[in-house]
Amino acid sequence: MTTMYEHLLHLSRAGANILHFVSYEWERVRGLVIGLSTELALPLRIWSQSTGLLRHADDANVTIEDDAATDPLELLKQIHGSDEAGVWLLEDFQPFLREDHHPIHRWLREIARLPQRPRKVVLLSTPLPGLPLDLRKEVPTVELELPSVNDLRLVLADAASALGVRADADDALLDAARGLTVMEARLAFGKAAAERGRLDHTAVPFVAREKERIIKQSEVLEYYPTEIRMADVGGLDQLKDWLERRGRAFGAGARDFGLDAPKGVLLLGVQGCGKSLLAKAVAATWQFPLLRFDMGKVFGGIVGQSEANIRTALQVAQALAPCVLWIDEIEKGLAGMGSSDQTDGGTTARVVGSLLTWMQEKRDPVFVVATANRIDMLPPELLRKGRFDEIFFVDLPTRAVREEILTIHLQKKRRNPKDFDLKSLSGQSVGFSGAELEEAVREGLYDAFAESRELATEHISRALTKTFPLSRTMRDQIEGLRQWAKVRARLANGERPEDLPVEHTESTPPKLRQEAARNPFVPVPRS
């Protein structure tokens, strides 16, 4: 597999005069560029608008060559007209790549067309991707991936040396830092060292907690620790069995056997029936980190920000692999894809396209669990084979599953399910979702506490009577979901779904009586 450094060398040897480097990690970028200049035997200069032009010597010392050279346009003219070969790294060049900087774009294109003698290589470093249209065909973009475990091992040793603490490059400690940039990992290691006085296996929880904070700070991904077990999810026996078989494909020998890493599953169905709960249970059962991906937060107001957010999120997921990527209510993030070119300049279409392409082509063990409540908002591209391994329909719980769900929630409240008439409660709650059953147990507890009594069947029964379940207010939508799923999805539960209860209402409204005599404004006849 070609490394990033080899890729950089190949591009420069192929004759590329300008390269665009995308990364927040200035230290790694500098390291790669220093290696490039050494390999090409060319002097290296580093420029930024704050420092001017610096010269990087062979002994790794950096000296000021021209601290007044802060104008990027004049610098490009100077590079173009110079008879000297060299490598120039222009750091944080993104402000000068906006569409209104035509003179700068023009001089970059002039440098891109220079002959190979004398050899000149200019590298534009920016934290976010995106080049103006007039530069994209002549300037290759190289995106630096997040640090590997070997990179993090170097950061760990450097942080320990700087803080004067003992370090043990434990695999669990390095795994805990995966998904972080060099700067973030150094901060996490430093914080752990400050609290523990050493960097070894005992520092894993501290690094993991710091990573959780950093990932959450991105506002797109949330590191989601979970202790939900598969036993906490009622019913869904066919889905659980399928997940158990898929989970084995992450184990040793699966790749040698010819199995690809499982892609993921789309859970479609009625709200409150355990789809999100199952995503948490999968991660906990497989002992994978769980990342919650909020599609709604991907979209930003700055040009190119949305595309950068989706790239960052997917990069973090790949760096944390194996992991579970949970996309809750995915249809809300995909809404407006069809009219994207008229409403947002195509941003939604590009973001969704990036996600779908990644789901199709990914080889890393990132298992996607996407949930959806509405099929009418899902684009056909998402549903075709190759994006997910399977689509499951999660229906309302049957009578037996409702008993199981009530048992689970009573046990969570430290009550013995044998003390309750679960058959009666299950029969009373036809059409209730798991969330509504949980709420009935909670409401029963409030009533029992207010009466200074122990929770009993009658309290839960009373709560069920007061509840107006979703299956009544959204009866037509649920029936439509069931019809759609009959030929397009597998049932998560093995039992045949129950018919929804029939509501008995008056077919015609009572007649309105119109009595003119009651109108005080009717004139009184004269005698």
| Mean pLDDT value across residues 321-332 | 87
- Residue 101 phi, psi (nearest 5): -100, 60
Confidence tier at 278 by pLDDT (50, 70, 90): very high
Q: Give how far Cα 8 sits from Cα of 5, 21, 71, Å.
A: 5, 10, 27
Mind giving me the DSSP string for 196-215? HSEESGGGHHHHHHHHHHHH
How big is the CA angle at 265 (ends 264 and 269), to the nearest 5 degrees? 160
| Mean pLDDT value across residues 493-500 | 84
Question: CATH second-level architecture of 4-143?
Answer: 3-Layer(aba) Sandwich (3.40)
pTM of the model: 0.73
Q: Which residue has the higher pLDDT, 226 or 190?
A: 190
Specify which residues 54 forms β-bridges with.
46, 64
pLDDT computed for residue 301 by the predictor: 54
pLDDT computed for residue 524 by the predictor: 66
Which of 83-87, 113-117, 349-353, 504-508 is predicted least confidently? 504-508
pLDDT computed for residue 512 by the predictor: 47
Which stretches within 413-474 are classed as H helix? 422-428, 434-450, 457-466, 470-473
| Mean pLDDT value across residues 125-143 | 90
pLDDT computed for residue 345 by the predictor: 60
pLDDT computed for residue 261 by the predictor: 84
Which stretches within 335-398 are classed as H helix? 340-343, 347-361, 380-383
pLDDT computed for residue 207 by the predictor: 87
Which of 215-219, 418-422, 478-482, 508-512 is predicted least confidently? 508-512
pLDDT computed for residue 518 by the predictor: 62
Residue 467 has pLDDT above 80, yes or no: yes
pLDDT computed for residue 259 by the predictor: 86
> Which residues lie closer than 8 Å to 314 by C-beta, 6 or more apart?
354, 355, 358
> What CATH class has 230-250+260-394?
alpha beta
Residue 254 has pLDDT above 50, yes or no: yes
Residue 487 has pLDDT above 50, yes or no: yes
pLDDT computed for residue 335 by the predictor: 66
Residue 284 has pLDDT above 60, yes or no: yes
pLDDT computed for residue 55 by the predictor: 94
pLDDT digits (tens, 9 = 90+) for 402-444: 999 999 999 999 999 999 999 999 999 999 999 999 999 999 9
pLDDT computed for residue 506 by the predictor: 45
pLDDT computed for residue 351 by the predictor: 83
Report the C-alpha gap between 76 and 122 in whole angstroms: 9
Q: What is the mean pLDDT of the chain?
A: 86
Confidence tier at 329 by pLDDT (50, 70, 90): confident
Domain boundaries, the chain: 4-143, 149-217, 230-250+260-394, 399-467
Secondary structure (3-state) at 188: helix
Which of 28-42, 71-85, 195-209, 450-464 is predicted least confidently? 195-209
| Mean pLDDT value across residues 309-323 | 84
Residue 326 has pLDDT above 60, yes or no: yes
pLDDT computed for residue 104 by the predictor: 95
| Mean pLDDT value across residues 393-403 | 93
pLDDT computed for residue 338 by the predictor: 54
Residue 513 has pLDDT above 60, yes or no: no
Please report the sign of the dihedral spanned by the C-alpha atoms of residue 92, residue 94, residue 100, residue 104.
positive
Q: Which residues of 427-462 are buried (b: 16+ CB within 10 A; e: fewer)?
A: ebbbbbbbbbbbbbbebbbebbeeeeeebbeebbbe
| Mean pLDDT value across residues 10-37 | 93
pLDDT computed for residue 354 by the predictor: 85
Residue 342 has pLDDT above 70, yes or no: no
Question: CATH second-level architecture of 399-467?
Answer: Orthogonal Bundle (1.10)
Which of 44-48, 149-153, 337-341 is predicted least confidently? 337-341
Same fold, 4-143 and 230-250+260-394: yes
| Mean pLDDT value across residues 110-126 | 95
Tokens of 396: 């309302």
Residue 89 has pLDDT above 90, yes or no: yes
